[in-house]
Amino acid sequence: MKRLLLLAATLSMLAGCTHEQRFHIEGHISGVPSDTMLYLEHITLGDGIVAIDSAGVGTDGKFEVTGTAPANPEFYRLRIGAQGINLAVDSTEHIHIEATLANLSFGYKVEGSGNCDTIRLLCLHMAELERQVTRIALDRSITMQERQERVDTLVAQYKQSVKANYMRNRYDASSSYFACFQMLGNVRVFDPMQDKNDLAWFRAIANAWNERYPDCPRTENLFNIVQQARKNQSKPRQITLDLDSEKVRELGIIDITLPDIKGEMRSLSDLKGQVVLLDFTAFSLEGMHERTLLLRELYNKYHDRGFEIYQVSVDNNHNFWAQRTEMLPWVSVYCEEGANSDILKLYQVGVVPYYFLIDRNCDLQARQEHITDLEKAIEALL
């Protein structure tokens, strides 16, 4: 009998050890049509967004989804169509959501997780910033430079508010990690690669997460970002100039190698064999929208015949440049030195915007002041 009891106890313990802990998210969403599917998605570090559960929302609006409880904080999303609710889950939790389909992403209430409620407030705060930025972007009564200055001010105010009200003294919170990676459009609001103050906050959060979650992949991710940002800011900003006399003589130009929006290094000499408009510019200048439209017309008309644009931006604000060039079809690169760049001096550029025409042999054929009709000059080289 004792042996049987011991065996039963052992089996019970083994069953308990192999039982998978799960978290549960349930609630009520009003205004949902019948046969509506709700998805629970894991926002992973390396594999993007992965669906882990789904459920049909009942006619009464009730739902429940579950997932394997993470050992460390992880981020998830409840989604119906294009609308979603951002959530943070730490170990085993029971989270309750009350929402309406018409305003799912922002008009919900959450119980059972303080971090999830803070993330809700952060999303509301970001939505208001996006509305203000959109209003400024559409205001044609002010210049482009004035619009950018106002947007920069709004972003700076937003960052200060988030730091003071959501992140300070809560460095180890999931919501603080979430705030670090908020996006305004396609640009990260907190940019430790460019902003030393942002780097200090990333470092504080990385240290706090290391104390609380030392083996967490997201802790490692924070430290990797901090390490790369420190390297980026500690060394002098450099650009690659190929001043080898033989190569200059062979190509007829001074080569330029700078990063594009994806961080890939793009060289002017790689475009040999095409007619190239080498364009030095700054997107913060007044009239750049109209100038970009003109360049797009030239590009669309002549690109199939072998015409390319290599555009060097000397904007002071990297994020602003990234926003303006994300959808451009030609080669757009960023020069961190700005107006003090040696490249401008080597090409004897005293004012931007300014352009050159380079032929298929990579020989510089004409400067801006020598070109009376740009379209005819391009056709002549093609």
- At a CB cut-off of 8 Å and minimum separation 6, what does 179 contact? 122, 162, 166, 167, 190
Three-state DSSP class for residue 54:
strand
Residues 83-111: what's their mean pLDDT? 91
Distance of CA 370 to the CA centre of its chain: 40
285-301 per-position pLDDT tens digit: 877 888 888 899 899 99
Residues 336-363: what's their mean pLDDT? 84
Among 64, 75, 192, which residue's Cα sits nearest to residue 122?
75
Cis before 353 (ω within 30): yes
Among 249, 213, 246, 209, which residue's Cα sits nearest to residue 226?
209
Helices (H), the chain: 2-18, 114-137, 144-162, 174-180, 196-212, 217-234, 245-251, 288-302, 318-325, 342-346, 374-381
148-157 per-position pLDDT tens digit: 788 888 999 9
107-133 per-position pLDDT tens digit: 899 999 999 999 999 999 999 999 998
Average pLDDT, whole number, for the chain? Answer: 85
Sign, CA dihedral 223-228-229-233, equals positive
pLDDT tier at 42 (50, 70, 90 boundaries)? very high
Residues 297-322: what's their mean pLDDT? 91
The whole-angstrom separation of Cα 204 and Cα 35 is 46
pLDDT score recorded for residue 72: 93
Q: Residue type at 301?
A: K
8 A C-beta contact, residue 91 and residue 112? no
CA angle, 78 then 81 then 86, to 5°: 25
**What do you get for the CA distance between the two ends of the chain, in Å?**
96
CATH topology of domain 21-112: Immunoglobulin-like (2.60.40)
**Regarding beta strands 74-80 and 83-89, do their DSSP bridges make them parallel or antiparallel, or are they unpaired?**
antiparallel
210-266 per-position pLDDT tens digit: 999 998 999 999 999 998 888 766 654 444 445 454 444 444 577 888 999 888 899
8 A C-beta contact, residue 372 and residue 381? no
The CATH classification of domain 240-381, taken from the options 3.40.50.300, 3.40.30.10, 3.60.70.12, 3.40.50.1980: 3.40.30.10
Phi, psi angle pair for 13, to nearest 5°: -65, -40
For residue 278, give the H/E element and its range. strand 275-281
Q: What are the boundaries of each domain within the chain?
A: 21-112, 123-234, 240-381
